[in-house]
Amino acid sequence: MKLYAVFGNPIEHSLSPRMHNLAFEFFKINGAYIKDRLIDGSKLLERFDELKLSGANVTVPHKESAFKACDEVRGIAKKVGAVNTIVKEKDKIIGYNSDALGFLNSLKDFITPKKTLILGAGGTAKAIAHALNESNFKTTILNRSKNRLDYFLNLGFECFSHEDFLMDEYDLIVNTTPAGLNDDFLPLDESVLVKILSKASAVYDVIYGKNTPFIKKAKEFNLLTKDGEDMLAYQGAIAFILFNSNSLNEDKIVNVMKEALKLPSFH
């Protein structure tokens, strides 16, 4: 049996094992998937080897550490500088990023954004910014501090820190920060966020399975809201295909993983 895992901190909330294990069962593949709390991102490969994994997903806050740890990085992950899927090929660790396409696929039945504001500047923000940029959607980055904005500035994105933010109108606001995951914080000062939401059409929180303070606040303005559940299913399907040598039908995997997310308890 091949073993896979998702690494992150925190990781207790992760529904990835539920999705992947049901997919293994559906496709009659001899595999299993677990979650593993990894505190130190620099120990990722050490833990990968210790568990004798064939592949893994990587979530907050280790996507950029995973990028550095890979022997080879492929596809959009090279542009993004963040890896959320790693696969062992012979003696090499190969890195991919399924967040970008997973996010775009999840927008299909939600909104076609003309102008998007991304809150946060980590690995997920990088993937989403690239996905939107490649679809010719205007994108602005807003991060608490300036020290992570150089990456985006060098690529020509409009960027602000909380200190120098200049208000504009955005039809889609995307939260990629962990605010609301294990606390009741908003990703932005409430007075500023309220002004942004008053002119927006929709919000998207990549956090899933929870009615976050960000989503609650958006509902006060009767905005369209979406959490990260569909993105999780789409990016999970891409990862599952990579785990299984690109031999499976993506639509079928997505359907299985969406069904897994509806289960009342972990599968």
Strand 138-143 and strand 224-226: pairing?
unpaired
**Nearest alpha carbon to residue 26 among 264, 210, 253, 229:** 253
Task: Say how far apart CA 8 and CA 41 lie, in whole Å.
Answer: 9
Alpha helices, H only, 27-76: 44-50, 63-69
- Through-space distance between the first and last CA atoms of the chain, rounded to whole angstroms: 18
Contact (CB, 8 A) for 172 and 199? no
138 an active-site residue?
A: no
CA angle, residues 30, 32, 37, in degrees to nearest 5: 165
What is the DSSP pairing of strand 85-89 with strand 55-58?
antiparallel
> Which member of 2, 43, 63, 68 is catalytic?
63
Largest pairwise CA distance in the chain: 54
Query: Which residues make beta-bridge pairs with 139?
Result: 116
Backbone angles phi, psi at 108, to 5 degrees: -50, -45
Q: Cα(52)–Cα(58) distance, rounded to whole angstroms?
A: 16
Q: Which residues are catalytic?
A: 63
